[in-house]
């Protein structure tokens, strides 16, 4: 049932994963095979972070819960005048491109930080609860809009302003653009002054400690021509985190935004890695351990989230899965298997990582083990990731699978990086499968529960319940088989008796999410549902409910003032635990102010 202001519903997603030809133990279905899915709503329960459904670039037609402003250009952004430098992404050009990219009104071009304020204002207007913004630590930022720079324009020079973490003086809301420096404490203070603390409803929640520092010599050779040292990024992140915590203790810090496995391992063969490695297995261990030591010395946590970027190196048919070319069927199949590198110890991807660095996979358990050992309590973030094939069913399934993995394995924050902006309908549908599967903003549940499939090659499955609605369970299921349908046999262990199920999904014929046949013949929480090849569905199971008495919003058998109070709370968004059928007094399929008026009349009549 629809609701005017806040729509809270449980959503279930179970995914069925596709075949990667080299994978051992792969089943080849002759026609329709059976896969067993066992769900236990009382096992492995853990909250799903609301911030895993995020993006770096805005979608045209998908619901998101987090937004990030970052990328290579963020390293050279000057908050005082809003000029930035593209680095080697585009001719080392300094310009005002970000002002247009983020739709800054022309009358605000000269306002400090207007790129970031326009970005965060949009988050607030969209109802997105989490903005992650990137601070600068590379050393220098664009001084002006002087266009493409010559190879001789290496910082320090007139083309750059020096980045200082602390001003060591009064912080101004009108920064001095003539002093040759930009100050990070003044930057954070400006944003906090405008929006309030991260603890408030409008404050910026998170700050990223720059972007992909191990790549600075290649992405920004004029800002940072020398190879970045491990000790350098540790020192800079410590200082910059202290700046954030000093000005807004409630804000979260994310670092070091490592670009990929080479950075995870030895910080891209950093010149000082051999001297600092000691007994650490990889750079992640070194970074976590020393950020913990520096936090202890500072008397406060300095790193809230370990932030990684993940563009899979997995290949199929000789082609990397991150490509937008979907003509290679073996690559498409490999793409749907690639999310298994995040969690599955039985899977070996076809990549240099799978061949030479298998010790670092599966990635999430490996990283969490490092966190537990060296800096317990640190959250895990993937502020950039992309599985390729963004406008193909294989890309849609891989994206939906990744979102399921993030929820099941406790990722805190994730923002997808768009590589094919003109064609990413399947990726958008993967997000909507969780956040807007029925077109009414209905969502997947907020609590993950145990959900296992008997065939992880051909299927992926996830299940959740909603903490304030005990009558629903959401299941996400994906059939990754390239040619054949699968009969999924579900066995649900629960203290609830589920009696009906509705299904929505997308498939290889269309990225549009459509209503599918309902689940039939549920008996003893067991049922079978046939899912076609290359299809992702969201199944919503519901329990039998007693027939509603119109107006008995709180279900206590009496229509009175208490029901009025509950309906008012519902419309204000402070509760969702009401009988929606009883609250829809005018039977128009929506619960809104008209029903409140009807209930007022009914209560006074009684």
Give the active site residues. 212
Q: What is the DSSP secondary structure assignment for residue 376, as one 8-state letter?
A: T
Helix (H) or strand (E) holding 592: none
> Which of 400, 392, 403, 460 has its CA nearest to residue 426?
392
Pair type for strands 33-40 and 447-453: antiparallel
Look up residue 278 and give its two tokens.
């000691």
In contact, 387 and 325? CB cutoff 8 Å? no
Q: Write the DSSP assignment of 437-501 as a string of letters.
A: TTSS-----SEEEEEEES-TTTEEEEEEEETTEEEEEEEEEEEB-SS--EEEEEEEE-SS-EEEE
Angle value at C-alpha 49, between 535 and 243, nearest 5 degrees: 135
Strands annotated E in 76-129: 84-85, 93-95
Coarse DSSP helix, strand, coil percentages of the chain, rounded to the nearest 5 percent: 30, 25, 45
**CA–CA gap between residue 262 and residue 551 (Å, rounded):** 61
**CA–CA gap between residue 213 and residue 283 (Å, rounded):** 13
What three-state secondary structure class fits 363?
helix
Other CB atoms within a 10 A radius of the CB of residue 105 amount to 10
Other CB atoms within a 10 A radius of the CB of residue 12 amount to 31
Q: Token pair 């907020």 is at which residue?
A: 446
> Which of 503, 481, 506, 340 has its CA nearest to residue 426?
506
In contact, 466 and 12? CB cutoff 8 Å? no
Long-range contacts of 570-576 (CB under 8 A, 24+ apart): 570/3, 571/4, 571/5, 571/596, 572/5, 573/5, 573/6, 575/468, 576/6, 576/8, 576/468, 576/469
> Which of 12, 17, 68, 8 has its CA nearest to residue 402?
17
Look up residue 178 and give its two tokens.
């003539």
């Amino acid at each position: 049932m629809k609701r005017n202001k806040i729509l809270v519903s449980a959503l279930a997603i179970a995914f069925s994963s596709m075949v990667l030809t080299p994978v051992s133990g792969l089943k080849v279905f002759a026609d329709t095979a059976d896969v067993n899915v066992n769900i236990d709503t009382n096992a492995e329960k853990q909250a799903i972070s609301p911030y895993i459904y995020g993006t770096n670039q805005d979608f045209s037609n998908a619901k998101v819960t987090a937004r990030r402003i970052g990328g290579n250009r963020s390293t050279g952004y000057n908050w005082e005048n809003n000029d930035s430098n593209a680095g080697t992404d585009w001719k080392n050009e300094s310009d005002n491109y970000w002002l247009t990219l983020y739709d800054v009104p022309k009358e605000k071009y000269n306002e400090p930080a207007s790129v970031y304020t326009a970005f965060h204002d949009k988050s607030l207007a969209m109802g997105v609860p989490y903005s992650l913004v990137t601070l600068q630590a590379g050393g220098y930022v664009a001084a002006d809009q002087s266009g493409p720079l010559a190879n001789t324009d290496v910082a320090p020079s007139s083309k750059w302003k020096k980045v200082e973490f602390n001003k060591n003086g009064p912080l101004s809301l009108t920064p001095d653009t003539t002093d040759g420096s930009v100050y990070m404490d003044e930057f954070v203070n400006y944003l906090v002054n405008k929006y309030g603390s991260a603890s408030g409803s409008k404050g910026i929640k998170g700050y990223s400690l720059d972007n992909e520092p191990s790549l600075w010599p290649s992405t920004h050779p004029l800002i940072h021509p020398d190879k970045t040292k491990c000790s350098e990024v540790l020192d800079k992140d410590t200082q910059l985190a202290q700046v954030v915590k000093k000005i807004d203790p409630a804000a979260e810090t994310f670092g070091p935004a490592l670009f990929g496995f080479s950075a995870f391992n030895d910080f891209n063969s950093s010149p000082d890695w051999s001297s600092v490695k000691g007994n650490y297995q990889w750079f992640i261990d070194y970074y976590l351990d020393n950020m913990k030591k520096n936090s202890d010395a500072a008397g406060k946590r300095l790193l809230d989230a370990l932030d990684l970027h993940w563009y899979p190196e997995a290949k199929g048919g000789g082609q990397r899965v991150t490509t937008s070319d979907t003509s290679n069927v073996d690559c498409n199949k490999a793409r749907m298997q690639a999310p298994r590198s995040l969690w599955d110890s039985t899977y070996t991807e076809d990549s240099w990582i799978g061949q030479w660095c298998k010790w670092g996979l599966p990635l999430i358990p490996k990283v969490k083990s490092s966190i537990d050992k060296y800096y317990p309590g640190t959250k895990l973030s993937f502020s950039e990731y992309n599985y390729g094939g963004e406008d193909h069913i294989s890309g849609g399934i891989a994206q939906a699978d990744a979102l399921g993995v993030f929820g099941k394995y406790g990722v805190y924050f994730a923002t997808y990086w768009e590589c094919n902006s003109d064609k990413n309908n399947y990726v958008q549908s993967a997000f909507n499968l969780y956040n807007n599967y029925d077109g009414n903003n209905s969502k997947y549940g907020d609590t993950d529960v145990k959900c296992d499939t008997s065939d992880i090659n051909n299927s992926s499955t996830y299940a959740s319940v909603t903490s304030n609605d005990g009558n629903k369970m959401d299941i996400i299921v994906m059939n990754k088989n390239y040619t054949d349908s699968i009969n999924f046999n579900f066995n649900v262990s629960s203290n609830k008796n589920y009696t009906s199920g509705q299904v929505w999904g997308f498939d290889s014929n269309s990225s549009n999410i459509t209503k599918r046949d309902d689940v039939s013949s549920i008996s003893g929480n067991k049922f079978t549902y046939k899912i076609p090849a290359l299809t992702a569905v969201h199944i919503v199971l519901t329990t039998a409910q007693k027939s509603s008495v119109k107006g008995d919003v709180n279900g206590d058998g009496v229509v009175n003032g208490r029901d009025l109070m509950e309906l008012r709370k519902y419309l204000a968004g402070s509760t969702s635990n009401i009988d929606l059928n009883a609250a829809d007094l005018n039977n128009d399929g929506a619960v809104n102010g008209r029903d409140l008026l009807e209930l007022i009349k009914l209560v006074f009549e009684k």
